[in-house]
């Protein structure tokens, strides 16, 4: 049977008395969410010398080794507010978009509590595709040409006159299933009927946009109004199997240090996309105050926006935050309070992370398999879906663990990660063997 890894951090190993004593001096932070992304946020916060106590709601079994899990749902805004008030939380950091869309930031601010994350209205940059496309059009931010429709016949007639493949996006939250790349008119007809006649996802409109070609990458920035602090670029792997085959997932791995994006590309994306979007949101009266995530594509016509997200990406966060050398508490706190922060400092080198998922994921899968060998792994292990009973770790979700290693270059990081994964044994886990393959082709 495997032992628990990572071992409880020194902070958790301290007695309650010591923690209370520290509490008088240090900051108490509440992190909202319970996946690998939040584990990486908690881990970064635990490196801050200013932070003495971390709560995470709902957290997960691995997070519970570094923070105190709080059994509240990430959308239970009133419950979370009462918890933060009763437990003298100095700062709250929001992971999931669902919490932002539920208005957690508006509620905490109205109660005078500092919180890192966007208001419900500003979260529209992610939750409404049409809002994001209109914003980009109005402010000259490069993206695919589009039209939006609520009427099935009109949408179909527009698509018929456009080249294929065509991209159809439901305008609203659709649990990652709202985007269809239609290869021909028949597929487009089916998808439009599903979205606009059967209302499978709800009453929302549909955005129809041109199909772009090129490598995709993620550009996450901390944003406070017009102040935009860039993070290292990263790339997610959405398909379940090697060679980018199989169904779409929540992400099977990620890495930093993208060789196909030049310094000039990053500068362009920073100025012409991320900074412009932040300015545009201020001009619209919806200033951002959290993470803006540009889902970008390097097309032959230049870098364009595929989508914006209003939060940290998962699994990107797990490879980006380990590179942060600055104190993350200062960044979260400054952005939450609308105060300038020092430009974050990032380590040289790169990171690469591989997700271990339950066999069958993203379809149906079984839970409760014993995971052994974690205590011998010499790499960062973020928990995504585990449970711990009597000191043993078990699978408890679709994506279960993410193993992340740094390296001087990608070949080095990749070798280390796969070497360390070999030490983990579990009969019901699978993982991709080709993370960062684009960098090696
Ligand atoms: P989204 O939810 O908007 O990020 O779309 C999901 C995925 O669909 C993206 O990660 C892309 O791989 C693909 N996609 C979305 N829009 C386009 C587009 N205009 N051209 C090509 N692929 C796209
Ligand atoms: N990595 C994709 C996302 O966080 O939306």
Which residue ranges form the domains of the chain, and what is each CATH number?
11-116 (3.40.50.20), 145-209 (3.30.1490.20), 213-337 (3.30.470.20), 350-440 (3.90.600.10)
Q: How far is the CA of 224 from the centre of ligand 1 (A)?
A: 27
Question: Probe ligand 1: pick from 130, 181, 314, max atoms within 8 Å of CB?
Answer: 181
Work out which ligand 1 atom sits closest to the CA atom of 210.
19
Q: Which residues are 91's β-sheet partners?
A: 29
Strand, helix or coil for residue 410: helix
DSSP label at residue 193:
I
> What's the confidence (pLDDT) of residue 173?
73
Please tell me the distance from the alpha carbon of residue 298 to that of residue 312, in angstroms, as a whole number.
21
Which pLDDT score is estimated for 175? 67
Look at residue 24 in the predicted model and tell me its pLDDT.
Answer: 55
Q: Is 208 in the pocket of ligand 1 (CB under 6 A)?
A: no
Strands (E), 1-64: 27-33, 51-58
Cα-only R_g, the chain = 22
Q: How far is the CA of 206 from the centre of ligand 1 (A)?
A: 14
Q: What pLDDT does 141 receive? A: 98
Q: Which of 236, 295, 306 for a ligand 1 pocket mutation test, highest count of atoms within 8 Å of Cβ?
A: 306
| Closest ligand relative to 252 C-alpha | 2
pTM for this entry: 0.93
Atom of ligand 1 nearest to the CA of 178: 2
The residue contributing the CA closest to ligand 1 atom 7 is 179
User: Rounded to an integer, what distance in angstroms lies between the CA atom of residue 280 and that of residue 410?
Assistant: 36
Note the ligand closest to the C-alpha atom of 209. Answer: 1
Give the residue, out of 169, 314, 320, with the most ligand 2 atoms within 8 A of its beta carbon, to mutate for a pocket test.
Answer: 314
Residue numbers of the chain with a pLDDT score lower than 50: 1-23
The DSSP symbol for 179 reads: E
**What is the residue with the minimal CA distance to atom 12 of ligand 1?**
216
Q: Which residues contact 305 (CB under 8 A, 6 or more apart)?
A: 132, 136, 141, 142, 143, 273, 294, 295, 296, 297
What pLDDT is attached to residue 434? 98
Instruction: State residue 391's pLDDT score.
Output: 86
* Span from the CA of 313 to the centroid of ligand 2 (angstroms): 4
280 in Cβ contact with 326 (< 8 Å): no
Do the bridges between strand 68-69 and strand 91-94 make them parallel or antiparallel, or are there none, so unpaired?
Answer: unpaired
The binding-site residues of ligand 2, defined as CB within 6 angstroms of any ligand atom, are: 236, 251, 309, 313-314, 316
Note the pLDDT of residue 172.
Answer: 79
Residue 424 CA, ligand 1 centroid: distance in Å: 34
The protein residue whose alpha carbon is closest to atom 4 in ligand 2 is 313
Q: What is the pLDDT of residue 11?
A: 37
pLDDT recorded at residue 8: 38
């Amino acid at each position: 049977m495997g032992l628990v890894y990572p071992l409880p951090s020194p902070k958790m190993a301290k007695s309650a008395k010591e923690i209370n004593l520290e509490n008088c001096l240090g900051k108490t932070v509440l992190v909202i969410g319970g996946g690998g992304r939040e584990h990486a946020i908690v881990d970064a916060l635990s490196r801050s010398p200013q932070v003495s106590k971390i709560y995470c709601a709902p957290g997960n079994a691995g997070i519970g080794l570094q923070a105190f899990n709080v059994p509240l749902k990430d959308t239970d805004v009133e419950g979370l507010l009462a918890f933060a008030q009763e437990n003298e939380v100095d700062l709250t950091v929001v992971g999931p978009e669902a919490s932002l869309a539920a208005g957690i930031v508006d509620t905490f601010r109205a109660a005078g509590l500092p919180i890192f994350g966007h208001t419900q209205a500003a979260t529209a940059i992610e939750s409404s595709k049409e809002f994001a496309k209109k914003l980009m059009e109005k402010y000259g931010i490069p993206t695919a040409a589009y039209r939006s429709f609520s009427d099935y016949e009109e949408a179909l007639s527009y698509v018929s006159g456009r080249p294929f493949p065509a991209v159809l996006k439901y305008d609203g939250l659709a649990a990652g299933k709202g985007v269809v790349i239609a290869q021909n008119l028949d597929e487009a007809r089916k998808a439009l009927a599903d979205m606009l006649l059967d209302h499978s996802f709800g009453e929302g409109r549909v955005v129809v946009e041109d199909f772009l070609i090129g490598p995709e990458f993620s550009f996450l920035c901390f944003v406070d109004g017009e102040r935009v602090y860039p993070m290292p670029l990263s790339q997610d792997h959405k398909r379940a199997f090697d060679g980018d085959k199989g169904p779409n997932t929540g992400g099977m791995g990620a890495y930093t240090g993208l060789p196909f994006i030049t310094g000039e590309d990053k500068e362009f994306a920073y100025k012409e996309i991320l900074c412009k979007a932040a300015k545009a949101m201020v001009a619209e009266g919806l200033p951002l105050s959290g993470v803006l995530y540009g889902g970008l594509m390097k097309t032959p016509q230049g870098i364009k926006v595929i989508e914006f997200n209003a939060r940290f990406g998962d699994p990107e966060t797990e490879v980006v935050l380990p590179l942060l050398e600055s104190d993350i508490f200062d960044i979260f706190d400054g952005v939450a309070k609308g105060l300038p922060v020092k430009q974050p400092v990032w380590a040289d080198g790169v990171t690469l992370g591989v997700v271990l998922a339950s066999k069958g994921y993203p379809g149906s899968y079984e839970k409760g398999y014993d995971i052994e060998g974690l205590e011998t792994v010499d790499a960062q292990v973020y928990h995504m879906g585990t449970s711990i009973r009597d000191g043993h770790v078990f699978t408890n979700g679709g994506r279960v663990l993410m193993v992340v290693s740094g390296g001087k270059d990608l070949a080095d990081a990749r070798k280390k990660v796969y070497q360390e994964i070999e030490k983990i044994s579990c009969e019901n886990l699978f993982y991709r063997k080709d993370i960062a393959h684009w960098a090696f082709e």
